[in-house]
Structure 1
């Protein structure tokens, strides 16, 4: 009986993903099935639907359902300077190379609600590179992008942010970059002056410029193999010779069709350098 239920549920999921793609042009069809199944089950339970098919019916006929779907299907879990050793490696091993460029473009792909973006902006300000850098913050979820652009976070997260910043080699205090009020941390508006926020899908969209550094962490773990290769192909196309790519701790280029286009630069932090033209 359980097997039958799961087979029917998988059919429902695939039909919902097709509906989402054909109705709204958001493509989750090649995301890892186990992750999608878990998130849609959670959505069904929390939103009060009897079946996933019922959610599909609502999605097709009521566009206001789209924001709910995207909230469950996209991962919005992050923190400033998450995995401090990654940012310390950027500071100590990547920044010296980036200093040689008269201007820089940095792409934070899958920026979610903006914590990683602001980590990079602060790091580049501390290293004297912010003024010559344009930061591109992209995500497929418009609500997440709006949250990122607002730069407002719950005050109870600041302790973790502050400790991460310290471990990442932060110069000065993180409190230099925000004010507080109404149990919120409000990041300084100046942190956004060189940031371009944009809707962009690694599934369906193309490269939009040459970048010296691409950071896409903990996004591709939710993709299947073909979609991972597509995303890495985009990064390969965006990066010039000697450009840098940073991935999440559980991600790798080892089995990618594009692996030969990169070399490990900081192995333990999954930072790669583009080789070839």
Structure 2
């Protein structure tokens, strides 16, 4: 009996150890990689062990994602991008969406990958339209800082559009970014996207429109308006806006134009995917045509 009790105590101890360090149970290549990453805090050694886990077929979905995240933290974004592209075919269908999200973050970090980021974000929007996002469900469970929460298709669409707008801004294509941010705000408005939309309008010297957008943030009408980071940014933009309003340029002189068929008529493009119309999600019924906005 004493042996049994000792064994039971040992099992409890092992369980507590894994819980405290947020480690999966067992002694596989993936578990060893997580131990080195989280307990020993040796990212380079962890990357080597994640490679071994992938080659051994041990929790490949998690191993590839975790390795890419550690590589990103080590400023090895290029390697992480190539690793995901090379080995994602070994991962399950359920893991592809998470890998795409990691790729988007990597493209943001890696200069010169804006076009790749834009292409990936457009593909994610197509997946939502075709009913393939969230494995066809209207919501998914996400995790942040150890906390679980539900994300709706509406929120995900707005988030992806926000990332797409940011990518266009990196290209200096403020008109395209404005169109995308405006659409994102129609779906699920928040203070951060409003500030970016304001900046896009300012870059086009459309100061009165920019001020209207900014006032919604400063008046606390949007989600996140009360967060110090958002409010500080809004106040900085207001100062910049006040300085800019004394100088007026023609927006045509900026040479801003949209040369992207995806943006010139998103609804029209969606209508071309007729085989998937019966599976598309209601969120796209709520998006008004981009063309109407561009004609103004």
TM-score with structure 1 setting the length? 0.28
Rg larger in structure: 2
TM-score with structure 2 setting the length? 0.27
Q: Relative contact order (C-alpha < 8 Å, sep 6+): which is higher?
A: 1
Higher strand content, 1 or 2? 1
Higher helix content, 1 or 2? 2
